[in-house]
Amino acid sequence: MVEAWIRSLIHVKHVKHLTLINCFGPFVPNSILTLDLPPKSFSHPNLKSLHLGRYTLKDPHGFDNCWNLKKLKLIAVFAEIEVFNVVLMSCPSLEVLVVDLHCHKQSGPLKIENRNLKFLCLSCCSQIDGIEVATPSLEILTVKSLSCEIEKFVIANPNLQFNRNYWATGQLYPHTSYYISCPPDQDKTSIGHEVMMSEPSEYMKFYASMSVSIDLTNTKEVDMLKEVLAAWPDEMQELEILFKNSNVPRKEGETPMGRTKRKFWEETKPFPNGHFRVHTVWLFNFSGSKEEFALASRLITQGTVVMTMKIQPASISLSNKLEIEAAVTKLKELPKGHTELSIVMF
């Protein structure tokens, strides 16, 4: 009956978005319905997004030739790791992938290879042999819970090479890595950003950590960072900010989009808001520019940073090193929103 219903919805009624969740029985493998679907069950060109929840996949045949899918969510899905790998390989057009996997046994690493993927959310409570991610276009990686060690998590992506990660704090908090990017000829925000902002309660967890890479001279990128932090629950464990090396000279008040907009440090409102708090902030590639100093000073004086701000200077000349040290000294002299806040350069 379920198979017939799925076929009718996809191949007869031509639905674009399908959510199918098994709500019957306790959440244990033996009670979850097994989907043993015919080949190409999900491959109709009209179907763009698919969400499966609380099912067991016996084999990957239902996903054969799924070039049509742009978004795939597999939540609390049980299968062999080989089945998951074939399913993901059969969906090369995916731009959004959310997986909460439960594997029956360890049998090799989970492999995610996709040139189009922009947003990836990973969670796996089962013990697995590792995860290999090769996604050159990926902008956002959210890790909720993983049972593998950091040495067995390999990611091939030039933009998501941060100093902090899911394992860095030693407490295994959920972690998000976000390469914020908005090209000059792009008016819309990225797909990954839209997904994250569409379900903030799903991807922005209380007491989690986040790493971001940003160009503070790009007003649109600053706005995107502000949107994410303003939507986050009130408290974050760690925030790593990696400043891009893209300080291209621009006219005063001009953004990369060619429009004049008030600078974020000239506004009177808190950045990102008056409620957001983070215990530790890491500033990497700090050059002491007016944008970087302004952001750091606002985080200090308005009480956004609770415990520690750690600053790593950019690799530059000795003369600039003195300028950076002077900027850090000024930051230490600012009135602090939290008296116990410490500011260190390392």
Provide the residue ranges of all domains of the chain, joining segments of one domain with +.
11-22+31-160, 165-245+262-345
pLDDT at residue number 320:
82
- Tell me the longest C-alpha to C-alpha distance in the chain: 74
pLDDT at residue number 340:
93
**In the numeric block, which tokens belong to residue 244?**
């891009």
Classify domain 11-22+31-160 by CATH number: 3.80.10
Cα torsion through 145, 151, 155, 159, rounded to 10: 90
pLDDT at residue number 186:
67
In angstroms, the CA 127 to CA 148 distance is 7
pLDDT at residue number 248:
43
Average pLDDT, consecutive stretches of 10 residues, N- to C-terminus, the chain (346 residues): 90 96 68 85 97 92 96 94 95 97 83 96 88 96 92 93 92 94 74 93 92 93 93 92 69 44 70 90 95 95 96 81 91 94 94
pLDDT at residue number 102:
87
- Report which of 11, 67, 63 is spatially closest to residue 42, judged by C-alpha positions: 63
